[in-house]
Each structure stands twice: as C-alpha cells, then as structure tokens.
Amino acid sequence: MGKVKIKKKSTVIDMTAMSDVTVLLLTFFMLTSTFLQKEPVQVITPPATSENKVPDEKLVQVLIAPDGKVYMNLTGAKDSTQLSTEAFRTEVLQYAYEKYGETHPGMPKLTVKQTKEFSKIGTFGVPMKDLTKWLDMPLEKRDEFLKEKGGIPIAMSVKEGNRNEFQTWLLAVKHVMGSRGEEMGRELIGGKCIAIKAGQDSPFSHVQMVMDNLQTEKLNKFVLMTSLKVEEEEK
C-alpha cells in the first residue's frame, strides 16, 4: 500500500494586517504626542520636593538664562473651541507690537508671513527693534541670534508710566487672555498661567527683577519651575 502524501502548508505569514496596525499606531502617537520645544539656552532648574505640576496649556513661561537674559514661551488651550496656541501667539504679538509702536514711531509693519512665523515659534526673546529682522531669518540663524543678541529688555523704565518691553509683552498677554472671558482672566491673575524657569545657579537678582516686573503689571502670583527631588529615606 502506498504512503499517503500530506500536502505541505505554506510557511509564509501575511504581514499586511500587522503593517496596517503599525501604521495606525504610529499615526496615533504622532498626532497625540507633545514634543519638547527647543529653548535658546539650557537651564537646569533647582530641585524641590513639591509634586505640583505646571500646566501644559494656557501657560506663559518666562525663561531666565544664567546671564540674566529673559525669554518667553506662550502656549494656548488644547481645546479647539478655546484660544489655540497659534491664535494666542498671533494676538499677543499684534497687540504688543502695536503698543510698542505708539511710543516708537517709524517701526516697520509686521507682514502676514512674519506673523505666521511667530505663531509657530516656541521660545522667543529679541528686542522689538530686531523682531521683524529676526522673523525673516532662517531657523538656524534665529537660534544663533537668540544666543548672541537675544533677550527681552527688562530694565525698569526711567520715565514713570513707560513700560519696558517685557512689561509690554505682559500687558499684551493680559489683554488677550482677558478678552477671552472671565475664566481665563481669573486663571491669569490667580497665578495658574505664569511660570518662571531659572537655573539653580542663576543669581537671585535676575529672578527678582522678573518678579518685580510681574508685580508692576499686577501679576502677583506665579509658579517657580523646579525639578522633582527624591527625599532620602531615614537610616
């Protein structure tokens, strides 16, 4: 009697379904992830044991470099029905630039392209007179300019009633957030929307100058950003 031949099954595995799932997962994580934005200077925040988290939306972050230069980062709401990040940055820019132009006639007008570029920028900080020139630069040139000649002028104004440029940006933030309803205005005044990020080795005089400017604009509550410190167990 002859042997019964068993038909061999193919060992090839169809990976089409697995590839589809992989692409879907990759797309999901790309759309939902929040990427860290590049900052012009590296700041190592001091350690603290508090676990209070700084909000990741509707936030005005003030970055203080070790040499005292000041930068800002504006983040809007995640909810699409509220003030988005790009809209927040655009409105703050237009209001601050307009206010600065009232006391500094002859400033060049902002173009649509420059305004759109600013709305996409994370951390910024250049004198107003250099703002339009900076926005027209290529990305790598902007980073170089921020490190060498950047920093928002923050020295207290000699003439009473005249705001320095940092206070002008704060005024614009107050105007934009206040115009979006009482809730956002209360969050700003209540200290939930302002965070100061300074290095652990930065002189306190730099931080104090920023706090003085905030208080001048009646923004008396804010958060100091720190790194979480693990308490040592008692032996």
- pLDDT value for 232: 43
- pLDDT value for 180: 74
What is the mean pLDDT of the segment spanning 2-31? 71
Whether the predicted pLDDT of 112 surpasses 80: yes
Q: How far is CA 145 from CA 98, 137, 167, in A?
A: 23, 9, 22
- pLDDT value for 48: 57
CA 74 to centroid of chain Cα atoms: 4
**DSSP track, 131-157:** HHHHHTS-HHHHHHHHHHH-----PPP
Instruction: Say what percent of the chain tops pLDDT 70.
Output: 73
Amino acid at 25: L
Stated pTM of the model: 0.76
Residue 89 CA to residue 116 CA, distance in Å, equals 9
Residue 164 CA to residue 155 CA, distance in Å, equals 7
Q: Which residue has the higher pLDDT, 180 or 63?
A: 63
Strand residues in 69-152 grouped as ranges (E): 70-75, 123-124
pLDDT in tens, 172-190: 999 998 887 666 666 666 6
Grouping H, G, I as helix, E, B as strand and the rest as coil, residue 47 is: strand
Question: What are 232's two structure tokens?
Answer: 């040592």
Question: What are 91's two structure tokens?
Answer: 């409105």
Residue 44 CA to residue 197 CA, distance in Å, equals 9
Specify the pairing of strand 123-124 against strand 70-75. antiparallel
Specify the pairing of strand 194-198 against strand 223-224. parallel
Question: What are 123's two structure tokens?
Answer: 């951390």
pLDDT in tens, 192-213: 789 999 888 888 888 999 999 9
Residue 67 CA to residue 40 CA, distance in Å, equals 12
Q: Which residue has the higher pLDDT, 43 or 220?
A: 220
What is the mean pLDDT of the segment spanning 73-80? 85
Mean pLDDT of the chain: 81
pLDDT in tens, 140-160: 899 889 888 899 999 865 454
